Amino acid sequence: MPADLVELGVLRGAYGVKGWVRVQPHSSHATVLRACRHWWLLGEPLCRVEVTAVRRHGAILVAKLQGYEVPEQADRLRGVRVGVSRADFPPAGEGEVYWVDLIGARVINRRGVELGTVGNVLDTGAQQLLEVRQGEQVRLVPMVERHLDEVDLAQRLVRVDWEADW
């Protein structure tokens, strides 16, 4: 089992009569789930599956997993979380980063005030939000050009135009 598994979605049961399964991705883009052909089912037991086909179906994905041929098999996967090894991610596009690479990064504003660390990235469908945690305090910083100045993955640092009291 890879140590770098990243949870990317949840299976929501059967789709159709040929064993396809519905997938609710955590990201509206679902880039990695659509690109990778090996997923991990993060249940008991942990299991690696080959994805023979995947396509968008409205706000969700539908996927055909090798070995799942009838709806009853696919429906047994309802609620199982889906992950992909970080090593299997396709390269990020120019000016793009994967949210998993932001988790734990320090967040500093333009005045040099440390706002906390990235605990999560939330996808609202309209935009993504950095969930910045500092002790018990949680700030949600929109990941839009106006507020996001720099992402330095090498230094694990995100610079933002955001104040501590906003």
DSSP symbols for 100-151: GGTTT-EEEETTS-EEEEEEEEEE-SS-EEEEEEETTEEEEEE-STTTEEEE
Residue-level pLDDT at 26: 87
pLDDT digits (tens, 9 = 90+) for 84-124: 999 999 998 888 888 889 999 999 999 999 999 999 998 88
CATH of domain 5-88: 2.40.30.60
**Whether residue 1 has pLDDT greater than 90:** no
- Res. 127: pLDDT tops 90: no
Mean pLDDT on 141-160: 95
Q: What is the pLDDT of residues 46-95, one digit of tens each?
A: 999 999 999 999 989 999 999 999 999 999 999 999 999 999 999 988 88
Number of H helices, E strands in the chain: 2, 12
pTM here is: 0.77
Which of these CATH numbers, 3.40.47.10, 3.20.20.140, 2.40.220.10, 2.30.30.240, describes 99-160?
2.30.30.240
Is the pLDDT assigned to residue 28 strictly greater than 70? yes
Domain residue extents for the chain: 5-88, 99-160
Are 63 and 51 in contact by the 8 Å Cβ rule? The answer is: yes
